[in-house]
Copies of this chain bind each other. A is one copy, B any other.
């Protein structure tokens, strides 16, 4: 049964994240985390903590595109400066998720190598330090093929379902639901973004009150990434 309410809290006041920062320890110490919370952490600080920052020649107008293509297994579309790629993780997104904002001039932030593992690391640290069972979602900002505007989605998760399978359950009329697999990890990432803003220095949010049955082992790679060949549009 879905909960009657949930709360989304922005976590402010975190220090600058540098390579080697332990995000899990930091959140355990500084974030008001409670049992069964889902902590949403933006990709950028995860990548920074993991040292996924590379130098880029600011004078080279083509550097970002080349970097994006070097992070891709397939380039799906090109239009002007924009490339839509499939990353090694299987994400289809702009510029392979390479990000030039919020970093010093001359550097770019790449996606984490294994965002599910990043999420597990944070979850494990909070468990070890605080004794709390939480879910963790690593979020990033993606476009969509047919809708304008960007939304935050989950690129990694631990301890919280990525997709909740409602197939075989009964709807409100007592009728069998055919196929309603809700991607709750993406919805949690989206909810968290509403309190983050892009310029507000809020790289972490807590989503409190999600259905307890969703707190289980999971993986974005296994549950959300649609393999090449399974989709209808690649």
Binding site for B on A (CB under 8 A): 1-10, 12, 76-77, 79, 84, 91-92, 100-105, 141, 144-153, 162-164, 166, 169-173, 175, 177-178, 180-184, 186-188, 190-191, 193-202, 207, 209-211, 223-226, 231-234
Rounded to whole Å, the gap between the CB of A194 and the closest CB of chain B is 5
Of A4, A91, A92, which is in contact with the most chain B CB atoms at under 10 Å from its CB? A4
Q: How far is the CA of A188 from the CA of B151 in the complex (A)?
A: 10
Question: In the complex this chain forms, how many copies of it are found?
Answer: 2
A180 contacts B195, C-beta separation under 8 Å: no
Q: Is the contact region of chain A dominated by helix, strand, or loop, or is it mixed?
A: loop
In the complex, besides A148-B224, A180-B198, A187-B191, 10 extra interface pairs with C-beta distance below 8 angstroms are A2-B196, A77-B233, A84-B232, A102-B173, A146-B233, A147-B183, A149-B164, A149-B182, A190-B190, A195-B209
